[in-house]
């Protein structure tokens, strides 16, 4: 419930190929989903886990590939969940003869921990994944089957989850929660007769496999020597696909719920230009990198020139990382220093800056200051995502309300007042936020099949009434 959006992979080769090199490539393709730790697991061995980026362990790849050689593997990239950032909390986790990797957040983890005796759950080592795994293993031993166990667990567990599992009998499983909060896809590589399940299709492409389809919400897939088997553990037909995946998290090359992310983002920009036609603009610039397609769509729709007015210093220590998923505020400020304005492009112009989201406002404030220093005459900022006003309990990092730029300390404020408050705080001449209807229309998914809880405060799709607590309370520090 604190900071999470991870990536999971499960691979099984019917031809007996060692798929460990493949899982490493797939995890590198999911690196944007988590940069804090990574790991993999094969049957009958403790999981391998490492802190930092996958490529940070490249000197070990050969040794890992030989030592963990297996036709069945699961993998995980992590961006800190509940509990502290440590190797102990990295995944996959092993409980009895089952290893588990998880993308999402279990919102009622305290209740669930009571069902497993409560013993594993301390704030210092609080992993919702571990609690879910312990409960699942108990249910499997009582019911004999993964599908039956999941159909019981889904009624006990509230939250978002994409799981990959590996069992000591050489089977790989993948399960996606009934609402489809987090993404999951299935791919197949003909040359090795290999199936891959992953959080995003970018990982499927990275290993030379072909995207087959989405894993359906409420579906359990089993990959074993019998090939691919599938069953449903939930009949829930209501969907709540995370809208933030479409504007920020997913890789632009990925296809999600049948939509290409790059095309969707460009379309979001077009729809934003219709909502905010800033006709006296001289220039449209993106905040690098994820806002680029939206800025291009916006500029094309408006007929205003598009340019790169801000560049990331790729050679700085943290240049290519994403400030939103950095664990510490000081790191986020550090990253913003590496976004450099190009004076010759900006000077004397009315610049429209397109950004994918405005969470804390730290980045926006720093960017606007930098643009002013570079001589921008006027700065309008347009955000592809609606105002984020509430914590996410389905797996994204904005859990405490007082950290959000929209936080008004208990005062009832209209949308217009909130926008004006944030505009003043970041120092823009104009600020425009997208709205849920406009975003859903641009992506081409019905609004009621998407999750906008962080903007609306309606937690019905999760089935919870949250207590809003500060990050310190939640981290147990």
451 is known to lie in a ligand binding site: yes
474 has a pLDDT exceeding 90: no
**Span 163-206, pLDDT tens digits:** 999 999 999 999 999 999 999 999 999 999 999 999 999 999 99
Mean pLDDT of 304-330: 66
Ligand-binding annotation for 454, yes or no, is yes
Looking up tokens 């797939």 gives 26
What percentage of the chain reaches a pLDDT higher than 70? 87
Q: Which of 307, 303, 302 is nearest to 374 (CA)?
A: 307
Residue 75 has a pLDDT of 98
Q: What is the pLDDT of residue 119?
A: 43
pLDDT in tens, 334-385: 445 578 899 999 999 999 999 999 998 988 999 999 999 999 999 999 999 9
pLDDT digits (tens, 9 = 90+) for 47-74: 999 999 999 999 999 999 999 999 999 9
447 or 5, which is more confident: 447
Could you give all domains of the chain from N- to C-terminal order, each with its CATH number?
Answer: 7-237 (3.60.20.10), 264-314+328-448 (3.40.50.2020)
pLDDT class of 154 with cuts at 50, 70, 90: very high
Query: Which phi and psi angles does 9 have, rounded to 5°?
Result: -140, 145
For position 120, what pLDDT does the model report?
Answer: 40
| Strands 350-355 vs 283-286: parallel, antiparallel or unpaired | parallel
**CA distance linking residue 406 with residue 425, whole number of Å:** 10
Radius of gyration of the chain (CA): 22
- Cβ-proximal residues to 66 (8 Å cutoff; 6+ apart), any chain: none
Q: Is 99 annotated as a binding residue?
A: no
More confident residue, 12 or 462: 12
Q: What pLDDT score was predicted for residue 335? A: 45
Q: Per the annotation, does 97 bind a ligand?
A: no
Longest dimension (CA), the chain: 71
Residue 119 known to bind ligand? no
State the catalytic residues: 6
State the pLDDT at residue 289. 84
Q: What's the pLDDT score for residue 314?
A: 62
Q: Check residue 88 and give its pLDDT.
A: 78
Dihedral angle sign, alpha carbons of residues 101, 103, 106, 109: positive
- Only one residue has tokens 């926008």, namely 419
Tens digits of residue pLDDT in 259-271: 999 999 999 999 9
Given the structure tokens 């020139």, which residue do they identify?
Answer: 305
DSSP state of 282: S
The rounded distance, in Å, linking the Cα atoms of 336 and 324 is 11
Q: Which two tokens stand for residue 281?
A: 């603009």
pLDDT band at 3 (very low <50, low <70, confident <90, very high): very low
């Amino acid at each position: 419930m604190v900071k999470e959006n991870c990536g999971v992979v499960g691979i099984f080769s019917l031809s007996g190929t060692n798929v460990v090199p493949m899982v490493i490539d797939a995890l590198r393709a999911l690196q944007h989903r988590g940069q804090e730790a990574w790991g993999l697991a094969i049957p009958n061995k403790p999981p391998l886990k490492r802190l930092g980026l996958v490529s940070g362990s490249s000197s070990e790849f050969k040794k890992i590939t030989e030592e963990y050689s297996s036709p069945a593997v699961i993998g995980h990239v992590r961006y800190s969940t509940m509990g502290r950032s440590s190797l102990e909390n990295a995944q996959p986790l092993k409980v009895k003869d089952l290893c588990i990797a998880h993308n999402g957040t279990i919102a009622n983890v305290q209740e669930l921990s009571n069902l497993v005796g409560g013993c594993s759950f301390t704030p210092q080592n609080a992993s919702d994944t571990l609690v879910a795994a312990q409960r699942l293993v108990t249910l499997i031993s009582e019911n004999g089957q993964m599908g039956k166990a999941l159909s019981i667990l889904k009624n006990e567990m509230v939250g978002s989850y994409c799981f990959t599992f590996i069992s000591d009998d050489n089977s790989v499983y993948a399960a996606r929660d009934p609402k489809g909060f987090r993404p999951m896809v299935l791919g197949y590589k003909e040359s090795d007769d290999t199936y891959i399940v992953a959080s995003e299709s970018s990982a499927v492409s990275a290993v030379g496999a072909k995207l087959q389809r989405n894993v359906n919400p409420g579906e359990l897939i089993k990959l074993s020597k019998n090939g691919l088997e599938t069953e449903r553990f939930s009949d829930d037909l209501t969907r709540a696909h995370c809208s933030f995946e479409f504007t920020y998290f997913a890789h632009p090359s990925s296809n999600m719920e049948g939509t290409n992310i790059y095309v969707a983002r460009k379309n979001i920009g077009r729809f934003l230009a219709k909502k905010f036609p800033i006709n006296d603009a001289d220039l449209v610039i993106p905040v690098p990198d994820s806002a680029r397609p939206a800025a291009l769509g916006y500029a094309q729709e408006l007929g205003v020139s598009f340019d790169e007015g801000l560049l990331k210093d790729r050679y700085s220590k943290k240049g290519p990382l994403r400030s939103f998923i950095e664990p510490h505020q000081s790191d986020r400020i550090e990253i913003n220093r590496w976004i450099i304005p190009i004076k010759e492009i900006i000077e004397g112009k009315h610049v429209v800056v397109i950004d994918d989201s405005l969470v804390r406002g730290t980045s926006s404030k720093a960017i606007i200051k930098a643009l002013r220093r570079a001589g921008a005459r006027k700065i309008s900022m347009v955000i592809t995502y609606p105002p984020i006003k509430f914590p996410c309990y389905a797996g994204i990092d904005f859990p405490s309300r007082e950290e959000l730029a929209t936080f008004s300390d208990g005062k009832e404020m209209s949308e217009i007042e909130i926008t004006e408050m944030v505009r003043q705080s970041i120092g823009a001449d104009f600020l425009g936020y997208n709205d849920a209807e406009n975003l859903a229309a641009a992506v081409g998914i019905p609004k009621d099949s998407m999750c906008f809880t962080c903007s609306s405060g309606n937690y019905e799709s999760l089935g919870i009434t949250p207590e809003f607590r500060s990050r310190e309370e939640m981290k147990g520090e």
